Amino acid sequence: MKRGMRFLALLVLMLAGAALAAEPIKIGAMYILSGNFANYGTSSKQGVQLAVEKINAKGGILGRPIEVTFVDHGKPDQAVREAKRLILENKVDFLFGIDSSSVSLAVAPVANEYKVPLIVTHAATPRLTEMCLPYVFRTSNNARMDSWAAAAFAAKQPYKRWANIGPDYEFGRVSWEDFITRLKELKPDVEVVSEQWPKFGSSDYSSYITALMRAKPEAVFSSLWGGDFVSFGKQAIPFGFFKTIKFYVNPTGGALQALEPLGKNTPEGMLVSARYWFLYPETEANKAFVKKFHDKFGDYPSYNAGEAYEGMMMLAAAIEKAGSTDPDAVKAAFEADGGLKYQAIEGLKWMRPADHQVFEDLVWGYTKHTDKYPFAILDPIVVVPAKDTIYPTKCAK
Partner 1 sequence: MKTHGALYLVATLLLAAPWLLPDYALEVAVQALILALFATAFNLVFAETGLLSFGHAAFFGAGAYASALLMQRASWPYLTTLPAAVLTAGLLALIIGFFSVRTSRIYFTMLTLAFAQLVWAVVHKWYAFTGGDNGITGLHPGALWGDVRALYYLALALFALGFALVRMLHHSPFGYALRAIRDNPARAEAVGLSPFGYLLAAFSFSGALAGAAGFLQVAWQRSAFPDFLYWTKSAEAIIAAILGGAQALFGPALGSLVFVELGAFVQARTEYWPLVLGLVLLALVLFLPRGLAGLGGRRARG
Binding mask 260-279 for partner 1 (x = CB under 8 A): --------------------
Q: Are 357 and 142 in contact (CB under 8 A)?
A: yes
Q: Are 227 and 259 in contact (CB under 8 A)?
A: no
Of 69-77, 247-255, 344-352, 385-393, the segment contacting partner 1 by CB under 8 A is 69-77
List for the chain the helix, strand, coil content (%; round to 5).
45, 20, 35
Q: What is the largest CA-CA distance in the chain?
A: 96
* Candidate residues 6, 75, 294, 296; the one interacting with partner 1 per rule CB under 8 A: 75
Chain-centre distance of CA 9, in angstroms?
A: 49
Of 32-40, 50-58, 257-265, 354-362, the segment contacting partner 1 by CB under 8 A is 32-40
Q: How many residues interact with partner 1 (rule CB under 8 A)? A: 34
How far is the C-alpha of 350 from the C-alpha of 95, rounded, in Å? 20
- Closer CB to partner 1, 74 or 261, in the complex: 74
| ∠ Cα 63 284 290 (to 5°) | 75
User: In this structure, which amino acid lies at residue 178?
Assistant: D
34 binds partner 1 (CB under 8 A): yes
Binding mask 344-373 for partner 1 (x = CB under 8 A): ------------------------------
* Candidate residues 43, 101, 266, 273; the one interacting with partner 1 per rule CB under 8 A: 101
* Candidate residues 33, 66, 236, 377; the one interacting with partner 1 per rule CB under 8 A: 33
Binding mask 153-192 for partner 1 (x = CB under 8 A): ---------------xxx--x-------------------
Q: In what order do the strands lie in the sheet with 25-31?
A: 66-72, 25-31, 94-97, 118-120, 136-138, 357-359, 347-352, 341-344
Q: Are 29 and 96 in contact (CB under 8 A)?
A: yes
113 binds partner 1 (CB under 8 A): yes
Q: Which residues bind partner 1 (CB under 8 A)?
A: 33-35, 38, 70-72, 74-78, 80-82, 84-85, 88-89, 101-102, 105-106, 108-110, 113, 125, 127, 131, 168-170, 173
